[in-house]
Amino acid sequence: MSDSAKLHNEKYKAARLAGLPGWGGANRIAKIPQMLEERFFSFEGAPLTGKLLELGCGAGNLSIALSNRGFDVFGVDFSESAIEWANENAKQTTKTIDLRVADVTDLSCFTNESFDVIYDGNCLHCLIGEKRVLGLAEWKRVLKPDGLLFISSLCAPLGESEFPKEFDQDSGLLLDSGIPYRFIPPPEYIESELQSAGFKITSKLVRFDKPFCHINIHARKI
């Protein structure tokens, strides 16, 4: 397990031991229905049903919400602690959610063209360097023809901004305890990545915030 993966795993353990209902705490979890409406369902052509894979499902809160909205949901996370937590949380729903320990850059547990939708649960910005290329290639592989890839990612605004000292604007890397923890490039960089990987962007929304912005993208496999 890489240093970054170990760091994420420890954060999941700490959050669970603290009694939080999921990543980000109770306030964030309570906002999931509104977040889904604004970032996913509000876009024209957003699917309402189908087989969906959540990337970086964490404690399973989004997977549960998407299952309750009618999707046949699968979730993956490289953290065993996260999947244990997600399976515990999934007991609150009567629907079956398939939650697995897996690296989002190696989805060999799934066959080609398995999913109608791939939902990035704030996962892309956790991938650094070559892992981003590998991840996007795998996501395209397991998507059905014309399948939808939803991206939810931190991004850095162009120009002057007050970034935290742990962020290196030149490399786009955010450090935690000296370990590269997030890759936060400008939104144009993310759009270019998707296009190079064989996706057509159909909708996008950049939400401006401090110190980082957030981009939501609907893209179709081509």
Give the model confidence (pLDDT) of 123-146 as tens digits: 999 999 999 999 999 999 999 999
Compute the distance between CA of residue 34 and CA of residue 29 in angstroms, rounded to an integer: 10
Confidence of residue 159 (pLDDT cuts 50, 70, 90): low
Compute the distance between CA of residue 169 and CA of residue 100 in angstroms, rounded to an integer: 34
Closest C-alpha among 216, 65, 213, 197 to residue 143: 197
User: Does residue 182 register a pLDDT over 80?
Assistant: yes
Cα dihedral 124→128→30→28 (10° resolution): -140
pLDDT for 65 equals 96
Residue 51's contacts (CB-CB under 8 Å, 6 or more residues apart) are 71, 72, 74, 114, 115, 116, 117
As for how many domains the chain has, the answer is 1
pTM of the model: 0.93
pLDDT for 183 equals 97
* pLDDT tens per residue across span 193-219: 999 999 999 999 999 888 899 999 999
Compute and round to an integer the Cα radius of gyration of the chain.
Answer: 16
CATH code of the domain containing 104: 3.40.50.150
Range of the domain at 37: 3-221
Confidence of residue 12 (pLDDT cuts 50, 70, 90): confident
